[in-house]
């Protein structure tokens, strides 16, 4: 009997172990904002489960590097999701290259500038930019995915929202608004899409250990007087201990994209260790 060490199953932080049950075998997916973080982790899990993936981003260097790391089932394409034509082009690329689109994951997002918790001086230009990338782009992704999925009467659309869209965090007040809007878009789109045999769901992660969030948390803490003392202390001690890995969100995406979730639509799957239930920023997340 041959033993396999754990180290041999990990490459670049992602599992490469062969699965006897590939939950997305033969599927074709487009994932926006997939050069790093949640998008990249989701692309890796999709591929591990048998899918071919078009990963898109605006960071070409990271995007090409991610595609090379993920292997032949990953293709990188530049896509600024604030431009509807580029979203449409990403969808068309999947169809041209693979003949179909089965999963559209609208994941790209921007955090906006800080501070955000003074409504008397809210930066509306920054808010508009966040809405364009976070919320409007999700609707554009739904539109163009449905355009190619509806004729086949099959397909799944996912949108990355956030726990702060469920329970707003004052330190990211305007960002919270954009994420709540994504949840509203998913709920509003579910019934019209169901008429065409399509499913649409949101995923709302809590704090995730991604390069974007790790780079912003200290700024958020310093610029937001309304943030609780407990949360600031946690950030000062060790920001990584309060965050989950992006793989946790990726596994939720695999479930929603798979046939196992064929009766799940219009749902917002919260993956936050229970934070939005007990509002305990000073309490360790459930694991």
Mean pLDDT split into 10-residue runs, the chain, 287 residues? 37 43 96 97 98 98 98 98 98 98 98 91 97 98 98 98 94 96 98 98 88 53 56 49 85 98 98 82 54
User: From CA 182, how far away is CA 136, in angstroms rounded?
Assistant: 8
The number of folded domains in the chain is 1
Is 258 within the bounds of a domain? Answer: yes
Phi, psi of 261 (to 5 degrees): -105, 30
Following CA atoms 183, 256, 171, 235 in sequence, which dihedral angle do they give, to the nearest 10 degrees? 170
Is 54 within the bounds of a domain? Answer: no
| pLDDT given at position 7 | 37
In our burial notation (b when 16+ CB lie closer than 10 A, e otherwise), range 245-254 reads ebbbbbebbb
Is 195 within the bounds of a domain? Answer: yes
Phi, psi of 173 (to 5 degrees): -60, -50
Is 149 within the bounds of a domain? Answer: yes
Residue corresponding to tokens 């554009």: 140
Residues in the chain: 287
| pLDDT given at position 165 | 97
Is 89 within the bounds of a domain? Answer: no
Is 170 within the bounds of a domain? Answer: yes
Where residue 189 sits, what CATH number does that domain have?
A: 3.40.50.720
Domain residues for 268? 41-46+104-278
């Amino acid at each position: 009997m041959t033993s396999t060490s754990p180290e041999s199953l990990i490459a670049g932080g992602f599992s490469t172990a062969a699965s006897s049950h590939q939950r997305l075998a033969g599927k074709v997916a487009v994932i926006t904002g997939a050069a790093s973080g949640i998008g990249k982790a989701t692309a890796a899990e999709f591929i591990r489960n048998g899918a071919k993936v078009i990963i898109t981003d605006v960071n070409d260097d990271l995007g090409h590097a991610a595609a090379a790391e993920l292997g032949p089932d990953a293709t990188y394409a530049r896509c600024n999701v604030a431009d509807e034509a580029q979203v449409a082009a990403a969808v068309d690329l999947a169809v041209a290259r693979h003949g179909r689109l089965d999963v559209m994951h609208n994941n790209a997002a921007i955090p906006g500038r800080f501070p955000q918790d003074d409504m008397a001086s809210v930066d509306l230009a920054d808010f508009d930019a966040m809405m364009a990338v976070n919320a409007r782009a999700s609707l554009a992704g739904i539109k163009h995915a449905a355009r190619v999925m509806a004729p086949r009467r099959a397909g799944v659309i996912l949108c990355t929202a956030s726990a702060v869209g469920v329970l707003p965090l004052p330190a990211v007040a305007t960002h919270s608004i954009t994420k709540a809007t994504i949840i509203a878009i998913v709920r509003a789109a579910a019934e019209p899409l169901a008429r065409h045999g399509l499913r649409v769901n949101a995923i709302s992660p809590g704090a995730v250990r991604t390069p974007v969030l790790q780079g912003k948390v200290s700024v958020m803490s310093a610029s937001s007087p309304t943030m609780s003392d407990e949360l600031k202390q946690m950030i000062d001690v060790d920001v990584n201990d309060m965050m989950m890995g992006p793989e946790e969100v990726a596994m939720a995406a695999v479930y929603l994209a798979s046939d196992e979730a064929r009766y799940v639509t219009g749902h917002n799957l919260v993956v936050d260790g229970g934070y939005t239930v007990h509002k305990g920023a000073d309490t360790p997340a459930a694991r």
